[in-house]
């Protein structure tokens, strides 16, 4: 796959642009985080995000071309996240990508953000061995797939309520910690390794492989009302108890799926995959099944454009070229994942 693809990611609150060679080698990946802008509101404000993407994109495109020493004329394709995400934010990236593809006469690839999170596992790394299970745990998604190859997926389970990252963010807000909550809770929990307690687990009556995180959020809220954590030690205890519960919820579903499907790898992606405690429990699990754990380094777990450029390059190599009338979709149907025109 001899290619040089420029990728654009603008689905939520990170503006990111990357240049990826041959679908896996990252030549440059730069992200302008809007975290400070949104943290004062305790969450992402869609219109603020769109306007910021508009401002940041031209600068980032120039920056990654400079860093990778690639000229516009060297590029072989343009890739962009077109779903799912905040519609205004997505449209900024899609419009920019279409403009570049049109003016440079390059093929365009429209990429599904969740699929790109899984593809991140093979950036600057060996190809993933299939069949595989794919787990995406991010601020907006918690989904488990059976994967026969890139582009061939079966959805096994998804969250019935909050996404895993959303639960971290909401609980951090309840605890008065700030946004995004995941890294803050992980830090507190790390200081209380002796805490093994958990809140009651969510169990589906129909034995499905779906996830649920709203129960633990309610449990934390009740605990705070009943017993407000007065000092740092109490905060650490609560954070650890919450994190243990979330990890248990994830592991329970993954273990059940690994017991059913004979796979060669478990691929994980999304911002929550930055969590070292999660990585470590998943590693124990994959070791016990004798399979590969494929988890990207943290910089490719959270939102980034390298995963978009990589997957875009793969799609283009398969002849999957998007039309210049392609648009963005905020909520594509999850029953037919990753089928973008």
Which span sits near ligand KG4 by CB under 6 A: 70-78, 138-146, 224-232, 255-263?
A: 138-146
Q: Which of 77, 271, 310, 337 binds ligand KG4 (CB under 6 A)?
A: 271
| Residue 138 touching Zn ion (CB under 5 A) | yes
State yes or no: residue 169 binds ligand KG4 (CB under 6 A): yes
Q: Does 296 bind ligand KG4 (CB under 6 A)?
A: no
Binding mask 2-41 for ligand KG4 (x = CB under 6 A): ----------x-----------------------------
Number of residues forming the site for ligand KG4 (CB under 6 A): 20
Q: Within 13 Å of residue 221, how many CA atoms lie on the same side as its CB?
A: 13
Structure tokens at 110: 């429209």
Give the residue, chosen from 42, 178, 183, 229, that forms a contact with ligand KG4 under the rule CB under 6 A: 183
Six-digit token string for 222: 């009740």
Question: Taking the complex as a whole, how short is the minimal distance between the CB of residue 250 and ligand KG4, in angstroms?
Answer: 11
Would you state the structure tokens that stand for residue 153, as one six-digit string?
Answer: 């997926």
Pairing of strands 108-112, 77-83: parallel
Backbone angles phi, psi at 307, to 5 degrees: -65, -30
Question: Taking Cα atoms as reference points, which of 163, 183, 185 lies closest to residue 172?
Answer: 185
How far is CA 257 from each of CA 209, 249, 308, rounded to the nearest angstrom? 8, 13, 27
Q: With binding defined as CB under 6 A, does residue 150 bind ligand KG4?
A: no
Q: Which is nearer to ligand KG4, 27 or 86 (CB)?
A: 86
Single out the residue of 88, 157, 215, 270 in contact with ligand KG4 (rule: CB under 6 A).
270
Site for Zn ion in 278-307 (CB under 5 A): 303
Partner from ligand KG4, Zn ion, none contacting 183, C-beta within 5 to 8 A by type: ligand KG4
Catalog residues that contact Zn ion under the rule CB under 5 A. Answer: 138, 303
């Amino acid at each position: 796959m001899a290619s040089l693809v420029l990728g654009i990611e603008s689905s939520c609150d990170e503006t990111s642009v990357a240049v990826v060679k041959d679908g896996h080698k990252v030549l440059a990946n730069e992200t302008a985080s809007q975290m400070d802008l949104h943290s004062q509101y305790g969450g992402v404000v869609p219109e603020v995000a769109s306007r910021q993407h508009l401002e940041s994109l031209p600068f980032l495109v120039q920056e990654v071309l400079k860093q990778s020493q690639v000229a516009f004329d060297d590029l072989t394709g343009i890739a962009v996240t077109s779903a799912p995400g905040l519609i205004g934010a997505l449209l900024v990236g899609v419009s920019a990508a279409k403009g570049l593809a049109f003016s440079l006469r390059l093929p365009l690839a429209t990429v599904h953000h969740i699929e790109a999170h899984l593809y991140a596992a093979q950036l600057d790394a060996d190809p993933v061995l299939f069949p595989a299970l794919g787990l995406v745990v991010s601020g907006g998604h918690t989904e488990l797939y059976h994967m026969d190859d890139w582009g061939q997926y079966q959805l096994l389970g998804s969250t019935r309520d909050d996404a895993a990252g959303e639960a971290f963010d909401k609980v951090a807000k309840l605890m008065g910690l700030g946004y995004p909550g995941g890294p803050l809770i992980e830090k507190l929990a790390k200081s209380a390794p002796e805490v093994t307690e958990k809140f009651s687990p969510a169990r589906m009556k129909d034995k499905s492989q779906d996830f649920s995180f709203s129960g633990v959020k309610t449990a934390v809220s009740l605990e705070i009302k009943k017993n407000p954590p007065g000092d740092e030690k109490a905060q650490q205890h609560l954070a650890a108890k919450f994190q243990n519960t979330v990890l248990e919820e994830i592991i329970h579903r993954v273990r059940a799926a690994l017991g059913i499907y004979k796979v060669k790898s478990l691929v994980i992606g999304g911002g929550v995959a930055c969590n070292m405690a999660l990585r470590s429990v998943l590693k124990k699990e994959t070791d016990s099944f004798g399979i590969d754990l494929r988890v990207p380094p943290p910089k490719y777990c959270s939102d980034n454009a390298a995963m978009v450029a990589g997957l875009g390059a793969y799609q283009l190599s398969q002849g999957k070229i998007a039309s210049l009338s392609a648009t963005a979709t905020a909520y594509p149907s999850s029953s037919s994942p990753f089928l973008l025109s």
